[in-house]
């Protein structure tokens, strides 16, 4: 007798499960395909505050990835590079995310998940990652963008859930913001915590100020 109810629940779960559309390209705020050869700002949906580099919590390097709190609101431009170097960037596919502007640290500007910060009890996102070379060695360097909802402009959450190593064990987590050491720093967040929704803004359009 319970079966129909269980089935109905399963259908509901299926319908609402946030499953990324495999094969969909990432779209910028104008609805254009996101490309590997262009620079973008990643901005929080709603308030438009972008991402930048910031002094590490403890040591000076590598730099933390953080959200801007002052002008320019856009933060620093970024580039995406897929694990297979595809020309267009796809949803739910492993990506290197890399700032384009050189900073005070000599490390690379590729995002990575930093070593666990025991003092603060969090995994912070920093620069200093390795680009390319998908596999177990580079597990901490891959991020995915997954679409939230279907309305325009395309809005995404950033996810740490690498597929580049089938035999590796790790917890899939969302990338979000945490207020630590007087800054809004990017960290891995538990599933039950609010999602950090972002839109992708072409950096070139911003520079040219086309209207
Ligand atoms: C790269 O991977 C994506 C998704 O897995 C796929 O859609 C695309 O065709 C691939 N591109 C190349 C150049 O291999």
Digit-coded pLDDT (tens) for 133-181: 999 999 999 999 999 999 999 999 999 999 999 888 888 999 999 999 9
**Is residue 209's pLDDT more than 70?**
no
| Minimal-distance CA residue to ligand 1 atom 2 | 84
Residue 61: count other Cβ atoms within 10 Å of its Cβ.
14
Percent of the chain beyond pLDDT 70?
Answer: 86
Distance 86 CA to ligand 1 centre (A): 6
| Minimal-distance CA residue to ligand 1 atom 6 | 23
| Minimal-distance CA residue to ligand 1 atom 13 | 86
CA triple 46-90-153, angle to 5 deg: 25
Contact assessment for residue 126 and residue 64, using Cβ atoms and an 8 Å cutoff: yes
Distance 151 CA to ligand 1 centre (A): 25
Residue 86 Cβ contacting ligand 1 at under 6 Å:
yes
Q: What pLDDT, on the 0 to 100 scale, is given for residue 205?
A: 58
Residue 93 Cβ contacting ligand 1 at under 6 Å:
yes
| Across 102-118, average pLDDT | 90
Of residues 1 and 20, which shows the higher confidence score?
20
Q: What pLDDT, on the 0 to 100 scale, is given for residue 31?
A: 96
Domains parsed from the chain with CATH numbers: 40-202 (2.80.10.50)
């Amino acid at each position: 007798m319970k079966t129909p109810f269980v089935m109905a629940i399963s259908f509901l779960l299926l319908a609402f499960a946030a499953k990324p559309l495999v094969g969909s390209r990432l779209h910028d705020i104008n609805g254009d395909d996101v490309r590997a050869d262009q620079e973008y700002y990643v901005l929080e949906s709603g308030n438009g505050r972008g991402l930048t580099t910031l002094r590490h919590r403890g040591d000076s390097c590598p730099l933390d990835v953080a959200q801007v709190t002052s002008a320019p609101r856009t933060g620093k431009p970024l580039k995406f590079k897929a694990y297979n170097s595809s020309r267009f960037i796809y949803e739910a596919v492993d990506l290197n995310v890399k700032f384009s502007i050189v900073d005070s640290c000599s490390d690379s500007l590729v995002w990575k998940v930093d070593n666990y910060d025991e003092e603060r009890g969090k995994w912070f996102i920093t620069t200093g990652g390795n680009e390319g070379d998908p596999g177990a060695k580079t597990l901490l360097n891959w991020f995915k963008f997954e679409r939230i909802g279907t309305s325009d402009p395309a809005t995404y959450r950033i996810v740490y859930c690498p597929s580049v190593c089938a035999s590796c064990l790790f917890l899939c987590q969302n990338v979000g913001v945490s207020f630590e050491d007087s800054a809004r720093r990017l960290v891995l967040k538990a599933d039950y915590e609010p999602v950090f929704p972002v839109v992708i803004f072409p950096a070139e359009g911003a520079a040219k100020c086309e209207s």
